């Protein structure tokens, strides 16, 4: 399947940034810059900004996502937000398994799978993050790590449900460090992840899957990264907080 038949998606991961007024200003700046985008555009914002984002993006081509969800529908989980709560608000997407969740908050491959299952059951679309640590790349086990994370996360996910999943390859050593995988490195691992999905499902399902690169993609390097056959967009951190930079990446993905 040609890359042109897959949907490229640029998603901004705002992380723990922006109050409601700042979120309103940024979204109002982004919307006109991306209104003619030839790719999917999503803003994933902190929970406190979801209502603001949903209201401002209504009727536009910009989708709204959350940055995490819990695996339980309800219960004694102080401080957590369920997938059903997000869906009831009108949220369409949720990021699951980001390396910062794994690194700082005890996320495991198993709990990633539980959250994926909960999100799909609630009708959400999932941006599933996988990627290796620097020491794992240096040990030559990037493929083993990405294969394991992908296989565990997709446990119990049907081929039909796979259509609601985007995988974001995020080498942990390139997140927020200013380091970026070369375009060839990004292509190599995204292609490998696609091969893992093909073995789990089939070639048609793998060819249709959007696989993003996320690891310090910015306005300067987006063109080269997005030119690669298996890189179908990006999960954007810092550059998503600057409307012109985010729009430049969307433009690169729209070619």
SS3 content of the chain, % helix, strand, coil (to 5): 50, 15, 35
Which of the following is catalytic: 92, 132, 170, 187? 170
Which of the following is catalytic: 92, 98, 107, 132? 98
Tokens matching residue 52:
């603001």
> Considering only CA atoms, which of 20, 62, 70 is closest in space to residue 44?
62
Based on the residue annotation, tell me whether 161 is a catalytic residue of this protein.
no
Based on the residue annotation, tell me whether 170 is a catalytic residue of this protein.
yes
> Considering only CA atoms, which of 56, 42, 50, 60 is closest in space to residue 91?
50
Tokens matching residue 1:
């399947």
Give the 3-state secondary structure of residue 6.
coil
Query: Quick count: other Cβ atoms within 10 Å of Cβ 100?
Result: 20
> DSSP state, 221?
T
**DSSP bridge partners of 127:** 95, 166
What are the Cα distances from residue 128, in Å, to 49, 65, 107, 118, 153?
Answer: 21, 12, 13, 13, 8
Q: What residues are labeled active site?
A: 98, 170
């Amino acid at each position: 399947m040609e890359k042109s038949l897959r949907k490229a998606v640029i998603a901004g991961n705002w992380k723990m940034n922006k109050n409601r007024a700042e979120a309103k200003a940024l979204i109002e700046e982004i919307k006109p810059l991306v209104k003619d985008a030839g790719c999917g555009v999503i803003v994933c914002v902190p929970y406190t900004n979801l209502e603001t984002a949903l209201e401002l993006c209504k009727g536009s081509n910009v989708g709204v996502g959350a940055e995490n969800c819990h695996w339980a529908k309800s219960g004694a989980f102080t401080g957590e937000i369920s997938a059903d709560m997000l869906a009831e608000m009108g949220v369409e997407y949720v990021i699951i398994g980001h390396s910062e969740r794994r690194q700082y908050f005890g996320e495991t491959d198993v709990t990633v799978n539980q959250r994926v299952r909960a999100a799909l059951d609630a009708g959400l679309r999932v941006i599933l993050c996988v990627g290796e640590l620097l020491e794992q790349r240096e040990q030559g086990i990037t493929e083993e790590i990405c294969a394991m994370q992908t296989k565990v996360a997709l446990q119990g996910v049907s081929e039909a449900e796979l259509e609601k999943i985007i995988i974001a390859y995020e080498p942990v050593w390139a997140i927020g460090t200013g380091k970026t995988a070369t375009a060839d490195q990004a292509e190599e691992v995204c292609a490998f992840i696609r091969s893992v999905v093909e073995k789990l499902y089939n070639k048609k399902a793998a060819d249709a899957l959007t696989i993003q690169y996320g690891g310090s993609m910015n306005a300067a390097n987006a063109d080269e990264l997005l030119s690669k056959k298996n890189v179908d967009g990006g999960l954007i951190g810092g550059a998503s907080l600057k409307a012109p930079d985010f729009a430049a990446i969307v433009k690169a993905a729209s070619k």
